Amino acid sequence: MKLSLIKRENASELVLTIMKWAILSLLSMRMALILLDYPSLGGGNWHIAHAFTGGVIMWIGAMTGYVYYGSQIRRMSAAIFGTGLGLFIDEIGKYLSRDNNYFFQPAFSLIYVFFIILFLIYRYLEKSVPKEPKIILFQVMDKLEELSENDLEKSEKSRLLEKLTEVIKRGDEKTKNLARELKKVVERIEPVANKGEGWTRSLWKIIRRYSYHKVFKRKWVLRILLLLAIGYIIEGIIDSVFIIGRFKENWIFELWYADWEFLTKTDFRIFTLMTIGNSLTCLLFMGGIYWLSRGKKVKGFGFFQYGLLVNIFITSVFKFYFEQFSGVFGVLISIIVLEGLIKLKQELVK
- Of the spans 59-63, 92-96, 98-102, which averages the highest pLDDT? 59-63
Distance separating the N- and C-terminal Cα atoms of the chain: 51
**pLDDT (0 to 100) of residue 3:** 47
* CA 166 – CA 7 distance, rounded (Å): 18
Strand, helix or coil for residue 192: strand
State pLDDT tens for residues 301-315: 888 888 888 888 888
Instruction: Kindly tell me the burial class for residue 318, based on how many C-beta atoms sit within 10 Å of its own C-beta (0-12, 13-18, 19 or more).
Output: buried
**pLDDT above 70 (res 300):** yes
Domain positions in the chain are 11-127, 133-188, 200-349
- Mean pLDDT (the chain) is 77
Please calculate the CA angle 213-216-217 and round it to the nearest 5 degrees: 60
Residue 1, pLDDT score:
38
Q: How many separate helices (H) and strands (E) can be counted in the chain?
A: 16, 0
What average pLDDT score do residues 145-171 get? 77
What amino acid occupies position 110?
L
Rg (CA), the chain: 25
pLDDT at 58 over 90: yes
Cβ 52 vs Cβ 87: under 8 Å = no
Spatial distance between the Cα atoms of 145 and 140, rounded to a whole number of angstroms: 10
CA–CA distances in Å: residue 286 to residues 90, 163, 227, 270: 37, 47, 12, 24
pLDDT category at 57 given cuts 50, 70, 90 is very high
Would the pLDDT of 273 be above 80?
yes
Given a contact cutoff of 8 angstroms between Cβ atoms, the answer to whether 341 and 304 are in contact is yes
Per-residue pLDDT, 96: 85
- Greater confidence, 281 or 46? 281
What is the Cα–Cα distance from 58 to 61, expressed in whole angstroms? 5
pTM: 0.75
* Residue 299 neighbours by CB distance under 10 Å: 15
Residues 103-152: tens digit of each pLDDT:
888 888 899 999 999 988 888 887 776 677 777 777 777 777 766 666 67
